[in-house]
Structure 1
Amino acid sequence: MAEKVSMLKNNPKSSRSQSRSSLTQALAVALTTLVAFSAFRFLQREHSVVCSKTESIYTVDSSKPRVECIAIDGSQILDTGSLDDVLGRLKNMAWTSSLTLFPSTLTGMLYRPPKVIFIDPSSIIVPGLADAHAHIIENGFKMQLQLDGADSVAEVIERIKDHINKRPDMPEDHWIEGMGWDQNRWPDSRFPTAADLDSDPLLKGRPIALRRVDGHATWVSSRVLELMGELPSEVDGGTIVRDNNGNPTGIFVDNAIALIPAPEWTESQLSEYFDATMKAALSFGLTSIHDADTLPQMRKFFIKQAKAGKIPMRLYVMLNGHLEVPEKGQLIKYGKQGRLTIRSIKLYTDGALGSWGAALLEPYADKPDTMGIMRSTAKEMDQLVRNYWKDGWQVNIHCIGDRANHVILNVFEGILQGTQVGPNVTEWRPRIEHAQIMTQADLKRAGTLGVTTSVQPTHATSDMWYAETRLGPDRIKGAYAYQTQLKNSRNGILPLGSDFPVEGVNPLLGFYAAVSRLAPDGTSPHGTGGWYPSERLTRTQALKGMTLDAAYASFMENEIGSLEPGKKADFVVLDKDIMTVPVDEILSIRVVATVIDGEVVHGNL
């Protein structure tokens, strides 16, 4: 033995060779053990197979548009196809992964057949629905005092009084805030005034700030005007509406809204508003939301929720680019659940059509003294967009009027084609949010450039009662032109959203508006055939717009948006077939179950 030890000492190469051999053997044993353990876990794991006997699983996968079943492994889709094929492939996967390690008898004993679930024959499955443009916190805020549908100033006042009377302990200096009024619904279509709020003794002397339905104008009480003190004569990118004597009436439009000294929301309020929106959204089958104007306090709140694992769905966040943006603020699939992504910027170019703030190339047909509001100049926008592009941010820009859209397409074109180091449009994916009113030339240019137009079908059916009066018979042909935008799109992409709380949270409202161009009661200025019906989307196009196209707009098309192997198991079970029922039945459809990462988060399977 001493001689052998001596020989090893005298032969260090042999010693190292034996050490490497031992290490290799140990690694091989460890690897075999790991593979065996993985195979054992696969055999023992209870996979789920969800099926429709009528093959009513709409995958939004062009290679397999409809299937009978989807197999789920944890948070992912493992397979799709017929029940026999899926079960056969699952068994083959199990046996292939284990027969080299376990005897066939043991493999057969260990294998657990998947749990097969059949949905009701009248139900269907679609990929998890997305809202490509919404305002999460604002929606929860609006739910506390909703002014939607009020047909007069008097009705708004009654709703405020009811709000106060239900809170008898509310101090008189407590700010009352609400959202949803629309002067276009009222008999004289005029903007309201602070004096209107003072007309009721219960309201007089209280600080009241009420946002218009589109969020682009705020109506305040006389008490708020007092708190504001002396006001500037003009506001860049905004308007202080004044009477014939030059006194403020109580209406502030676009950038002028920032003058209102409303208190900042507390963390408790943020939590309340967030939870309310999430609960509603899940109940309507939403599994992904693009938050289209995240303020600094909201960003911090979302990050805190993500760290705590309290983000119940996928959130794609657009930071407000007119405010301070962290230098290294991008987060991809962040948090315990990996559901928060912050990689885009939201900018504003103009206002909204309903408050005459959309920036037009020519004067308004019904208000020829104005062409709307440019909230930022073309030069300012160009510099902002270039800076954010260079810092690696996707840039998404609010554009309603044809002037705003024209200016921003000039900016995007200058960046995409104007330099030798311009970005690849597929890698950058710049978006125009709303893209509501465009010239025929700009409709084509957006598609040619590869700019994504992110639209909200319910805006068309909400605005159709006054839009042509605002724009006239020629400009209206380039407004809310969804089918044209989709046909012009380089990649056939048209993400759909709602802009809630401007519109309702239920994504079927958008689906219905997109395929019918009708109001929920089945009417339109052009009758039951729909408003400018040539711009309707097909049901297949609309479903893709609120699933795969929205996923593309958020760089997630390889992970969500369709039911394909390897993608996340996000899907929705509906009690009727939105792809075949008569149009007037679409809005009666209900969500049976909402599933995210393979887990039922609303309803039951």
Structure 2
Amino acid sequence: MLDWRLEISKRRNKSGGFLLIFLFHSALLFAQPADLVFRNDKAVTVDTTVLLKPVADLILQNGKVITIDTALQQAEAVAVLGNKIVYVGTNKEVEQWVGPKTEVVDLLGKLLLPGFNDAHCHLLNGGFQLIRVNLLGVKTLKEIQEKVGEAVSHAPKGAWVQGRGWDQTLFNNGEWPTKEMLDAAAPNTPVYLRRVDGHSSWVNSAALKQAKITKETPDPAGGEIVRDKSGNPTGILKENATELVTRVIPKPSPAELRQAIEKGLEEARGFGVTSLQEESEGTYPGAISVYKELLNEGRLTARISTWIPLDSARYPEQLAKLREFFPADASILKLGLLKGYVDGSMGSRTALLFQPYSDDSTTNGIAQYTQKELGRLVFTADSMGFQIDMHAIGDSGNFVALLAYSQAILQNQPRERRHRIEHVQLVRPADIPAFKELGIIASMQPTHCTSDMRWAEARAGKERCKGAYAWRSFLNAGVSLAFGTDWVVEPLNPMGGLYAAVTRQDLETGQPEGGWFPEQRLTMEEAVRAYTLGSAYADFREKELGSITVGKLADLVVLDKDIFSIPPREVLTTSVVMTVMDGKVVYRKK
């Protein structure tokens, strides 16, 4: 059992005695008679006669506590004082931490885990999706048109209708949609809809007109305006071509940013997600200021590690001053890393492959940078001491990222970098050892595997897919894994990711039997570790987060089922009973 009460430092004073210095985490109780504590409407006698006895603010007991701590893997009870875990152990011993004002929660045998840490999400985009046109999972053009038409009917004159989540692979014919399909629902109102992966957009004629995109408009570097046989824009914009439209859409106001953030935080605490690593500031300038407002008001119910664009390394002087905009206490809101993009996505056929796509021999993807340009940005950011994360999905894209990292590491001074590659969806098996050698973290999203496996072999072929979503291969090679969802691309609920990691089966159908490339499956323990301690390590926070350990911050989640013992399909219906962040209960299931 691990117990923290007080530290006694014995120092011999001038008279030869010992000076006892008691160091406490919070206010201490002086001698009092026994008090009555009401627990579940029953009075319990608590002995408070011990001089200078610290007591807990919150106790969770009578549960199955999986700590993700190798020193004590399972316990029955946890005590919290302030925002720290002060005791992990038995139901009997935790009673010593009960005081007159302690909230005691009987877990009734339920599972207690460290709070989930989503290593990659888009909180603001997710919040906006919840209040805009949400197309996630929509399978018919008719339903999309109905949703867009409804939004148009409520839109103020001159306003844009925006949404996200469409996926042409869910349509019956699997073909890319066109501007005419949107024109039928919105002939005059400009409409902008991001694809589920965020790497392509679908717009109507009114949007093309406002953006002044015509037959003569050239493709921008790193992007494509999809055209018909006559050369006219179809309404699909890939990668950087999307910016031709987004630059003319009015930016959201601080009030709109706040609404989206609060909506996203509500979603997170209901799923037991207590830490979010996300890139709002790169997409929505001004987001950091809103986060700081919420922090000062005590309304930031998840820890935010916000990312900024790798392109910021083009301006080293301004980049060096960026840390000044963040609170000195970075326990809840902190500057995370610099995020860059090497390629696009498999779904949009913009991920970089060494060989052309199996279902489209005319392309092998779209590079976001030249190798020289990428190398220069990575070198500059690395030399300034920043952690770097590069989005890379294709096998060539991952190799390009590894090459840029290796060059910077060789040229700059030694240090603990923990650079990352985001997604790592398709990798040549021969390149996996390089992740370990360079200390690169594989930050992956398990539900990308189960969403993409429907068409992955058609895109890349079976042989290349042997290196797809290769979680087991990475772990066996000693590579650090961090898990997240990439919300808004996938739902924020960690249960989907855990199920995907241990089964590699479709969340709806449970197919294929045995899983897709089942040799890459993980155990539930490994998956939970990647979603907690692994994600904390990827954010340089493993000493304060990621496990239920005495002295760490009290971020906890209670589940209504034991995901370690139930059949995998039941994991998908497991829900959160309680979420604790920074020692405070931020969610209780009604």
Q: Secondary structure at the match of 1:509?
A: helix
Q: Which of 415, 423, 427 is the aligned partner of 2:414?
A: 423
Structure 2, unpaired ranges of 5+ = 1-12, 31-50
Please say if residues 193 and 202 of structure 2, whose CA atoms lie closer than 8 Å, have aligned partners that are also in contact: yes
The alignment status of 1:73 with 2:81, answered yes or no, reads: yes
The reply to whether residue 546 of structure 1 matches residue 565 of structure 2 is: no
Q: Taking structure 1 as reference, are residues 44 and 294 closer, same or farther at Cα in structure 2, changes over 3 Å only?
A: same
Residue 508 of structure 2: aligned partner: 521
Equivalent residues of 2:553, 2:582 under 8 A apart: yes
Contact 1:559 1:567 in 2 (8 A): yes
Per the TM alignment, residue 470 of structure 1 is displaced from its structure 2 partner at its CA by: 0.1
Q: Which amino acid aligns with 1:429?
A: R
Find the partner of 1:460 among 449, 457, 482: 449
Q: Is 1:128 aligned to residue 119 of structure 2? A: no
Give the deviation of 1:193 after TM superposition: 1.1
Higher helix proportion: 1
Give 1:535 deviation, angstroms.
Answer: 0.9
Q: For residue 173 of structure 2, what is the aligned residue in structure 1?
A: 188
Q: Could you tell me how far apart the structure 1 residues matched to 2:22 and 2:454 are? A: 69
The superposition leaves residues 149-192 of structure 1 with CA deviations (integer Å, 9 ceiling, x where unpaired) of 22232221111113334x2xx33422000001111111222211
CA contact (8 A) 1:331 1:342 kept: no
Worse overlay, 305-314 or 172-181: 305-314
Map 1:262-301; keep pairs closer than 5 Å.
262-292=249-279, 294-295=281-282, 296-301=285-290
* 1:482 match: 471
Distance in 2, Cα, partners of 1:435 & 1:233: 31
**Contact 2:124-2:280 at 8 Å conserved across structures:** no
Tell me the residue number matched to 1:397: 390
| CA shift digits 1:466-514 (9 cap, x unpaired) | 0110000111011111111122134xx2110000010001111111111
Q: Shift of residue 275 of structure 1?
A: 0.6
Matched, 1:206 2:193: no
Q: Which residue of 2 aligns with 1:155?
A: 143
Q: Trace 1:182-331 onto structure 2 (pairs within 5 A).
A: 182-200=167-185, 203-230=186-213, 232-260=217-245, 261-292=248-279, 294-295=281-282, 296-323=285-312, 326-330=319-323
Distance (Å, rounded) in 2 between the aligned partners of 1:321 and 1:307? 28
Question: Displacement of 1:297 after TM fit?
Answer: 2.4
Distance 1:332 1:177 in 2: 30
Output the CA distance in 2 between the equivalents of 1:49 and 1:270.
33
> Structure 1-normalised TM-score?
0.85
* CA positional deviation for 1:148: 1.6
Note the aligned Cα RMSD (angstroms). Answer: 2.7
* CA-CA distance at 1:112 after TM superposition: 6.5
User: In the alignment, which residue of structure 1 is the partner of 2:428?
Assistant: 439
**Per-residue CA distance 1:393-435 (angstroms, 9 max, x = gap):** 110110011111001101111222x23x4333xx211000101
Q: Give the distance between the partners of 1:516 and 1:162, measured in 2 at CA.
A: 38
Instruction: Confirm or deny: 8 A CA contact 1:307 1:335 kept in the other structure.
Output: no
Q: 1:462 offset after TM fit, Å?
A: 0.4
Alignment partner, residue 511 of structure 1: 498
Q: Which protein is bigger by CA-based radius of gyration?
A: 1
Partners of 1:409 and 1:558 lie apart in 2 by: 27
Counterpart residue type for residue 464 of structure 2:
R
- Relative distance call for 1:336 and 1:601 in structure 2 (3 A) is farther
Cα 1:596/1:249, change in 2 over 3 Å: same
Q: Distance in 1 between matches of 2:500 and 2:328?
A: 35
Shift of 1:130: 0.9
- 1:73-112 matches, within 5 Å, as 73-87=81-95
Q: Is 1:57 aligned to residue 65 of structure 2?
A: yes
Q: Is the 8 A contact 2:27 2:54 kept in 1?
A: no
Contact 1:306 1:336 in 2 (8 A): no
Any residues of structure 2 matched to 1:374-393 within 5 Å, and which? 374-393=367-386
SS in structure 2 opposite 1:473? coil
**Which letter maps to 1:570?**
D
- Please give the alpha-carbon distance, in whole angstroms, between the structure 2 residues aligned to 1:245 and 1:573: 58
Unpaired runs of 5+ in structure 1? Answer: 1-23, 92-110
The answer on 1:561 being equivalent to 2:546 is yes
Per-residue deviation at 1:542?
0.6
Structure-2 separation of matches of 1:80 and 1:384:
45
Aligned mates of 2:108, 2:385 — CA distance in 1? 46
Counterpart residue number, 2:401: 408
- Give the secondary-structure state (helix, strand or coil) at the position aligned to 2:505: coil
Q: Compute the displacement of 1:320 (Å).
A: 1.7
Offset, 1:34: 10
Alpha carbons of structure 1 residues 333 and 507: separation in structure 2 relative to 1, 3 Å? farther
| 2:253 maps to amino acid | T
Return the letter of the residue paired with 2:535: A
Cα contact 1:67–1:80 (8 A) shared by 2: yes
Alpha-carbon distance in structure 1 between the residues aligned to 2:588 and 2:71: 30
Q: In the alignment, is the contact (CA less than 8 A) between 2:118 and 2:485 conserved in 1?
A: yes
**Cα distance in 2, alignment partners of residues 501 and 115 from structure 1:** 36
Aligned residues with identical type, % of pairs: 35
3-state SS in 2 of match to 1:334:
coil
Q: Which residue of 2 aligns with 1:571?
A: 556
Distance 2:326 2:413 in 1: 27
Whole-Å separation in 2 of the counterparts to 1:528 and 1:541:
21
Identify if the C-alpha distance between structure 1 residues 248 and 38 changes in structure 2 by more than 3 Å, giving closer, same or farther.
closer
- How many angstroms apart in 2 are the aligned matches of 1:362 and 1:129? 37
Contact 2:61 2:91 in 1 (8 A): no
Structure with the higher strand share, 1 or 2: 2
> Compared with structure 1, are the counterparts of its residues 254 and 34 closer, same or farther at alpha carbon in structure 2 (3 Å cutoff)?
closer
Q: Distance in 2 between matches of 1:297 and 1:586?
A: 38
**Residue in 2 that maps onto 1:119:** 107
Q: Is the 8 A contact 1:126 1:573 kept in 2?
A: yes
Counterpart residue type for residue 536 of structure 2: A
Instruction: Classify 1:286/1:176 alpha carbon distance in 2 versus 1 (closer, same or farther; 3 Å).
Output: same
Q: Give the whole-Å Cα distance in 2 for the aligned partners of 1:31 and 1:83.
A: 30
Paired position in structure 1 for 2:348: 355
- The letter of the residue matching 2:414 is P
Does the CA-based 8 Å contact 1:51-1:83 persist in structure 2? no
Residue 281 of structure 2 aligns to which amino acid in structure 1? T
- Specify the SS of the correspondent of 2:279: strand
Aligned to 1:495, the other structure's residue is in SS state: strand
CA contact (8 A) 1:309 1:337 kept: no
**How much has 1:530 moved relative to structure 2?**
1.4
> How big is the shift at 1:574?
0.7
Residues 569, 246 of structure 1: CA spacing in aligned structure 2 closer, same or farther, 3 A cutoff?
Answer: same
State the number of aligned residues.
Answer: 543
Distance 1:34 1:289 in 2: 32
Deviation of 1:32 (Å)? 8.3
TM-score, with normalisation over the residues of structure 2? 0.87
